[in-house]
Amino acid sequence: MTWLVTGGAGYIGAHVVAALQEAGMGAVVLDDLSSGFANRLPAGVPCVVGSVLDGHLVEAVLRDHRVDGVIHLAAKKQVAESVGDPLFYYRQNVEGLRVLLDAACTADVKRFVFSSSAAVYGSPPTEYITEETRCHPVNPYGETKLAGEWLVRAVAHATGTGYVNLRYFNVAGAGTPELADRQATNLIPMVFQQLALGRRPAVFGADYPTPDGTCVRDFIHVSDLAAAHVAAARRLTAHTTRLTLNVGRGHGVSVREIITQIGEVTGHPVEPTILERRTGDPARVVASVDSILRELDWNAQFGVREMISSAWTGWQLRHRKDPAPAGPAVRASHATR
């Protein structure tokens, strides 16, 4: 079996490629390298440099590499950027997916795993979010992911394609130091960056109705997430299935707890600066993970400590220096991507 992994040179995609290889499944990557790095890929995995928006190229890759299924991660993922440039996000994330699905139909490829997000839920007023919780995205990024799920579902029903839409919660950690996230857009790498700059991370709001007043999120180790893709690929290989599943740990951890644990792991304890709440940040976003356990026999193996320590090892490898002591505050984000 050979899987086309779009966005395979990215942070999560490279972990998915490594996990497929480990599971004895073939992979070919299509990536425009807009935020990815070809040197993340293991030897022997072909990397075609190009965009999913190029339908002829996608079709050629599917045919030339005799692809059996697609794992689609290629997308833009920055919430604030999507608010400023929604047309770009709809083109990259929705039109890119439409072109890819079109090529897959033409090449008769009928297995599809789609990288969705907890951002489809918006600010749900519920303790544990199930897949039946109402989707109400609060930014264009989340909208493109929800529209993507609808598109995948509609095409699947029209063509007999099997699919698994995976709604990732907050992704963190690294399988190996070389594969660590190189962008400082998620909470943990952002805090590392502030430490390195000698600044204190800022927390937006400490008066939420949560145990310590800061927002609570569900953090999932990227290696666990990669294993969920392998489980989805296996399931699609065995049956034509149609599933939409949360991928989280089902445990909430507060932003303050994460910052405290970062201090313990790095040996640089830091007191965050508390700022006003930001509009649109939900108090708590935690997955119910019953469905993915039932459907794919998957559950998370790693905890927050492993996420922080593996991310920290990767950070040190890239920066090769210790962070300076904490100084003035700079903003750190904990948006659900």
Q: By CB under 6 A, name the binding residues for ligand NAD.
A: 6-7, 9-13, 30-36, 51-53, 73-75, 77, 92, 96, 115, 117, 168, 170-171, 186, 337
Cβ at position 335, least distance to ligand NAD in Å: 9
CA dist 143 → 82, 149, 225, 233 (Å): 10, 10, 22, 25
Catalytic annotation present for 90 = no
Query: Which residue out of 89, 141, 163, 208 is catalytically annotated?
Result: 141
Using CA of residue 20, residue 21, residue 23, residue 24, what is the dihedral sign?
positive
- Strand 200-204 and strand 329-331: the pairing is parallel
Nearer to ligand NAD by Cβ, of 76 and 200: the residue is 76
Cβ at position 170, least distance to ligand NAD in Å: 6
Nearest alpha carbon to residue 89 among 143, 135, 11, 31: 143
**Per the structure block, which two tokens stand in for 12?**
């999560």
Nearer to ligand NAD by Cβ, of 36 and 140: the residue is 36
> 75: how many CB neighbours lie within 10 A of its CB?
24
Nearer to ligand NAD by Cβ, of 37 and 128: the residue is 37
Beta-bridged to residue 112, according to DSSP, are 70, 163
Nearer to ligand NAD by Cβ, of 170 and 333: the residue is 170
Cβ at position 220, least distance to ligand NAD in Å: 9
Report the distance separating Cα 201 and Cα 212, nearest Å. Answer: 17
Cβ at position 53, least distance to ligand NAD in Å: 5
Q: Return the active site residues.
A: 141
